[in-house]
Structure 1
Amino acid sequence: MKEYREMTSQELTALREELRQEYSEIQARGLSLNMARGKPDAEQLALSDAMWTIADASTPMVGEDGMDYRNYGLLFGTREARRLMGEIMGVSRENVIVGGSSSLTMMYDTLMRGMVFGMLHSPKPWYECPDRKFLCLVPGYDRHFAITQDLGFELVTVPLTESGPDMDLVEELVKDPSVKGIWCVPKYSNPSGITYSDETVRRLAAMETAAPDFTIMWDNAYGIHHLYPDAPDELADIFALAQEYGHEDRVIAFASTSKVTYPGAGIAALAASKANLDHIAAHMTHQTIGADKINMLRHVLFLQDLPHVKEHMAKHAALLRPKFELVLRMFEEQLREPGVARWTNPRGGYFITCQVPEGCAKKVVQLCAEAGVILTDAGATHPYKKDPQDSAIRIAPSYPPIGELEEAMKVFCLCVRLAAVEKLLGC
């Protein structure tokens, strides 16, 4: 088969008629498949069902520090939960706050504190900086963009390369004192699945910034979500590097068990320097008496320690891997030869980015919706939901059963080919 761009107009017209016929037949089937969000499926959730019975009336409710978990206290979370999340995040327990179920909440609170009180090294609160800006990697995570937009930041886009942010551009942009931070999903990035190179992490830690309160929001949501546990991507230790360059207060990291145990009923954590934790505590003590320590206990009893976490995550990988491999195989079989798309090939995380011909992403998503397959909105991978190339589409293979996923990808590949043909024909 020729690449579509090499076909004559007569060949393209005939192909369009063929694809439109196939599309009409699919529409007539009345499919209803939803792939809009990267959620664990029922089999993944069942992996954690032992937590329902892991604690009972006979379970000791007093921690190793003598604190009764049934009562008030422990602003930063239980000692055991802080140690567990520290192992997962690669930091000491003393540098960890364990909160409620949502790392997104902890991220929002972090930036809101910066808005109202300023960050640790802020000359003044961020609300007094009317031209404040935040760097956003594209393609990136829509909820990151929404947080900073909600707080009145100008969102400045930075391309995400195969090794991480375009660091030449980042190092130039941070010469502006109004640039207050950067969002990073450094491992198995959402939605491309790439992992930052050692050199990229070092440059982020080492670079000089005009803003003394420049903050790296290090959302390592997928740090233990390997599709291939025997050969995981490795990520450099940004805290060690930041300390090496005298910027240890620059990084605030986040993680959670949202896709490890139960989304919405897990535990989340923030990791930062001692000075940052002291700054956070000064305000956090007025906000809460502490998160759910009984839930922390359940998670510690179930997950235990990092080796057991790795065993648990290998079970997740065994369920997820066939789905990712199915999607990638179908892309190879149906999109490679026509030359109508490019895609990432992640080794972990929850997403694949598919780049369709420029100007076609919205049309592909619309065609899929009209055929009964709901995808993440085109543009969601960019600030203000505006993808200048109208090309990036986030694929989330995790939630549908594999049979439904195959059906959805047949529809998706057909819609990509149809949109590409119609663009070439000027339809």
Structure 2
Amino acid sequence: MDLTALTPAELSDRLTALRDEHHRLAGRGLRLDLTRGKPAAEQLALAQPLLGLPGLGDHTAQDGTDCRNYGGLHGLPELRATFAGPLQVPAEQLVAFGNSSLELMYECMVDAVLFGVAGAAAPWPREGRTAMLCPVPGYDRHFALCEKLGIDMIPVPMTETGPDMDEVERLVADERVKGIWCVPKYSNPTAVTFSAETVRRLAAMETAAPDFRIFWDNAYAVHHVAGTDEPLADVLGLSAEHGHPDRVFVFGSTSKITTAGSGVAFFGSSRANVAWLLGHLAKRTIGPDKVNQLRHARFLPDTPAVHAHMARHAAVLQPKFELVDAVLEKRLGDTGVASWTRPRGGYFVSLDVLDGCAARVVELAGSAGIALTPAGATFPYGKDPRDRNIRLAPSYPGPDELRDAVEGLALCVELASVERLLAAVDQPA
């Protein structure tokens, strides 16, 4: 039923029924979690053979490097060659490093704040307040990083083709705006893939800050779940073509490809930016874990092997996304109080509820034993101005737990919405 079309009396009756249903749900003692996009154990098991590599005594890379020893800051060439295509970065301009791309993003931000980026006249803060553009809804860890370093965040609305480029182009005329966060493919949480025109405009736009950087977090470059891969334009090549060769920092990792806690992270950019990063890394490490890199290079010897492996991941994930959509459609499809994305890749579903209801939905779900990402997490400083967006992460639970969690979530959405609608009726004109 369309809840927005009900009379006050009908809303009141519906509220009583929903509260009874929520009371029964809370009495079940559930302990369900939709908070973070962790791979399920079934997905991690797909990489189990990795743990037996490299074989005993087999520790030499293709170029003769003894992976047990120091050095090799750039990373193993064969592994960089495997991921050069998926990340759209020439292998010689790709760095393979530790287990976390977030660590590399943090490194780049800290180095920019302390020392400035390659070719810059000064560190970012010496030129006044520094700001990053933040497409919203977006990735909470990007926002937490900026907040930690005292970098101002300016929200930019996400559209079906990526960030609102008219707004981006307007904002970069301010010289304090030093960069933009981008999850360009199957973005977190909306699963939008940037259009070719959006990528071109990002690459070509003029910015007041000559040291402007695009933080291109391509975390889901090979994570399609709907059978076909969505194409993404080559931002690094386009930026060079438009006279901005140093504009883009590309990040990626194997965290949701092999083993989430012990994968390999990548940084790609211009030769000047690669030299800049390696120069800073050299001051705090003599080299990455090359044994782990060799393990990955043996397990994923080329790009086709990566795509074949990701097809096995998709076989696990696709039914979960379909389940979420089916339950939400059955329970909320005709209520007029919710809309959600139907991802073709990535790890998240973005749910929008009535304005002013997201925090209440999260509260109701929590009291029933269903943990959700905090309302506002997909916005800078944890503040969603409309209090309506909730990020759902369906990857980790098993099918039965996932169904229970989404059924319970849908109940909470309906209950919070009816409360809100009744409150609006009760307000004096």
What TM-score, normalized to structure 2? 0.97
Deviation at 1:345, TM superposition (A): 1.4
Q: After superposition, what is the alpha-carbon deviation per residue over 1:207-262, rounded to whole angstroms, capped at 9, x for unaligned?
A: 00000000000000001000023x21111111111111011110010000000011
Q: Which residue of 2 aligns with 1:44?
A: 43
Whole-angstrom distance in 2 between the partners of 1:109 and 1:50 = 31
Which of the numbers 403, 414, 417 marks the counterpart of 2:414?
Answer: 417
Specify the alignment match of 2:107 in structure 1.
Answer: 109
1:161 and 2:166 aligned: no
Q: What letter corresponds to residue 329 of structure 1 in structure 2? A: A
Judge conservation of contact 2:54–2:291 (CA < 8 Å) in 1: no
Structure 2 unaligned spans of 5+: none
The answer for the alignment partner of 1:214 in structure 2 is: 212
1:242 matched to 2:239? The reply is: yes
Does residue 66 of structure 1 match 2:60? no
Kindly state the Cα deviation for residue 65 of structure 1 after the two structures are TM-superposed: 2.1
2:73 is aligned with 1:75: yes
Superposed CA offset, 1:309-366 (max 9, x none): 1110000000000000010111111112111101111100000100000000000000
RMSD of aligned C-alpha atoms? 1.0
Map 1:365-384 to 2 at 5 A: 365-384=362-381
Contact 1:33 1:374 in 2 (8 A): yes
Tell me what 1:361 maps to.
358
User: Could you tell me which of 272, 283, 290 is aligned with 1:286?
Assistant: 283
8 Å Cα contact 1:4/1:340 also seen in 2 = yes
CA contact (8 A) 2:79 2:301 kept: no
Looking at structure 1, the residues matched to 174 and 20 of structure 2 have their Cα atoms a distance apart, in angstroms, of: 54
> In the comparison of the two structures, how many residue pairs are matched?
424
Structure 1 runs of 4+ aligned residues shifted over 4 Å read none
Any conservation in 2 of the 1:163–1:197 contact (CA below 8 Å)? yes
1:316 alignment partner in structure 2: 313
Aligned equivalents of 1:337, 1:393: Cα separation in 2: 19
Question: Is 1:20 aligned to 2:19, yes or no?
Answer: yes
Amino acid at match of 1:13: S
Partner of 1:85: 83
Distance apart, 1:92 and its partner CA: 1.4
Q: Which amino acid aligns with 1:316?
A: H
Deviations 1:37-58 (A, max 9, x none): 1100010000000012232214
Q: Which amino acid aligns with 1:253?
A: V
Match of 2:146 among 140, 145, 148: 148
Q: What is the CA–CA distance in structure 2 between the aligned matches of 1:88 and 1:241, rounded to whole Å? A: 16
Aligned to 1:56: 55
User: C-alpha separation between the residues in 1 aligned to 2:367 and 2:223?
Assistant: 33
1:31 equivalent in structure 2: 30
Q: Deviations over 1:68-92 (max 9, x none)?
A: 1111111111111221221331221
AA in 1 matched with 2:3: Y
Q: Does 1:395 align with 2:373?
A: no
Counterpart in the other structure of 2:137: 139
Q: Kindly provide the amino acid, as one letter, of the partner of residue 398 in structure 1.
A: S
Select which of 250, 257, 267 maps to 1:260: 257
User: What is the alpha-carbon distance in structure 2 between the residues aligned to residue 174 and residue 221 of structure 1?
Assistant: 25
Q: Does the CA-based 8 Å contact 2:328-2:407 persist in structure 1?
A: no
SS in structure 2 of the partner of residue 45 of structure 1:
helix
Q: Is the 8 A contact 2:332 2:410 kept in 1?
A: yes
Aligned-residue identity in percent: 50
Q: Distance in 1 between matches of 2:127 and 2:188?
A: 29
Q: Aligned AA for 1:123?
A: A
Please give the secondary structure, in 1, of the residue aligned with 2:133: strand
Secondary structure of residue in 2 paired with 1:378: coil
Q: Is the 8 A contact 2:33 2:372 kept in 1?
A: yes
State the TM-score, normalized to the length of structure 1: 0.98
Cα deviation, residue 205, structure 1: 0.2
Contact kept, 8 Å, 1:376 with 1:393, in 2: the verdict is yes
Please say if residues 172 and 208 of structure 2, whose CA atoms lie closer than 8 Å, have aligned partners that are also in contact.
Answer: yes
Looking at structure 2, the residues matched to 344 and 122 of structure 1 have their Cα atoms a distance apart, in angstroms, of 40
In terms of mean alpha carbon deviation, does 110-119 or 125-134 score higher?
Answer: 125-134
Q: Helix, strand or coil for the counterpart of 1:135? A: strand
Counterparts of 1:66 and 1:261, CA distance in 2: 25
Distance in 1 (CA, whole Å) between partners of 2:83 and 2:285 is 20
Question: Given the alignment, which residue of 294, 298, 312 partners 2:295?
Answer: 298
Q: 1:385 aligns with which of 360, 382, 385?
A: 382
